[in-house]
Amino acid sequence: MANFYLWFKALHIAFMVTWFAGLFYLPRLFIYHAMASDRVGRERFQVMERRLFVMTVIGLVLTWIFGLSLVFANPAVLDAHWFHIKIMLVIGLMFYQFRCWLWIGRLGRTDDPQDTRWLRWFNEIPVLVLLTVVFLAVVKP
């Protein structure tokens, strides 16, 4: 298993980037969708949101698979305090992704323009999580 550790780490990072790319862009699509004034534009954003959400789910699942592979290869990490915080943040990010799924449904059911102020703040949450998780994983305070 130790021979595969660096491969698991590389794949974990690659799929984490895929996951975050989707989470960075999906709320931005929500803002554009909410501001769209025509039916064709709203339908286009609905399709884009669904497809991007599928990509984020794939990134999420593969990030977890390779992350768990890393833990299996190095179980000592389970005793590290920084790792517990990282896992809590990742679980919180899963709730964030669930909230994105709810937004897809909400925007698909309404023709009324939405207030995008909340979405603009919501869009920044993954940035804060990413910075914290990278800091924890690299510095290991």
Token pair for residue 96?
């964030």
Q: What's the pLDDT tens digit per position in 87-126?
A: 999 999 999 999 999 999 988 887 666 678 888 999 999 9
Q: Is residue 48 a contact partner of residue 29, using CB atoms and an 8 Å limit?
A: yes
Q: At what angle do helices 81-109 and 39-73 cross, to 10 degrees?
A: 160
Task: Give percent above pLDDT 70 in the chain.
Answer: 96
Longest dimension (CA), the chain: 55
26-35: per-residue pLDDT in tens?
A: 999 999 999 8
- Find, among 103, 125, 127, the residue nearest to 116 by Cα: 103
Q: What tens digit of pLDDT does each residue of 51-98 get? A: 999 999 999 999 999 999 999 999 999 999 999 999 999 999 999 999
Whole-prediction pTM value?
0.91
